[in-house]
Amino acid sequence: MRSAAFAVGKRRMDTGRPNIVTLTMNPALDITTCADQVRHTDKIRCGATRYDPGGGGINVARVAHVLDGPVVAVFTSGGPTGAMVADLVRREGVAYEPVEISGVTRESFTVNEGCTGKQYRFVLPGPHLTMTEQAQCVENLRRHAMSAEFVVASGSLPPGVDPRFYQQIADMCRESGVPLILDTSGGGLSHIESGVFVLKPSLRELRECTGKELTTEREQVAAARDLIDRGVTDVVIVSLGGDGALMVTARQSQRFKAVPVASGSGVGAGDAMVAAITVGLSRGWPLPKSVRYGIAAGAAMLLTPGTAVCRRAEVERLFALAAEPEDLTSGW
Give the C-alpha separation, 70 to 63, whole Å: 11
List 14, 30, 271, 327, catalytic entry = 271
Q: Are 100 and 78 in contact (CB under 8 A)?
A: yes
Give the C-alpha separation, 144 to 154, whole Å: 16
pLDDT, tens digit, for every residue of 246-262?
A: 999 999 999 999 999 87
Nearest CA among 58, 52, 131 for reference residue 305: 52
> What are the Cα distances from residue 73, in Å, to 65, 95, 206, 222?
10, 6, 26, 34
Overall fold of domain 18-38+45-325: UDP-N-acetylmuramoyl-L-alanine:D-glutamate ligase (3.40.1190)
Give the C-alpha separation, 76 to 57, whole Å: 11
Domain boundaries, the chain: 18-38+45-325
Give the C-alpha separation, 28 to 187, whole Å: 19
Handedness of CA 291, 295, 296, 300 (dihedral sign): positive
Q: 3-state SS of the chain: helix, strand, coil percent to 5?
A: 40, 25, 40
pLDDT, tens digit, for every residue of 46-94?
A: 999 999 999 999 999 999 999 999 999 999 999 999 999 999 999 999 9
- Does the pTM surpass 0.75? The reply is yes
pLDDT in tens, the chain (332 residues): 343 333 343 444 444 557 999 999 999 999 999 999 999 998 999 999 999 999 999 999 999 999 999 999 999 999 999 999 999 999 999 999 999 999 999 999 999 999 999 999 999 999 999 999 999 999 999 999 999 999 999 999 999 899 999 999 999 999 999 999 999 999 999 999 999 999 999 999 999 999 999 999 999 999 999 999 999 999 999 999 889 999 999 999 999 999 998 776 677 899 999 999 999 999 999 999 999 999 999 999 999 877 789 999 999 999 999 999 999 976 55
Clarify whether 30 is annotated catalytic: no
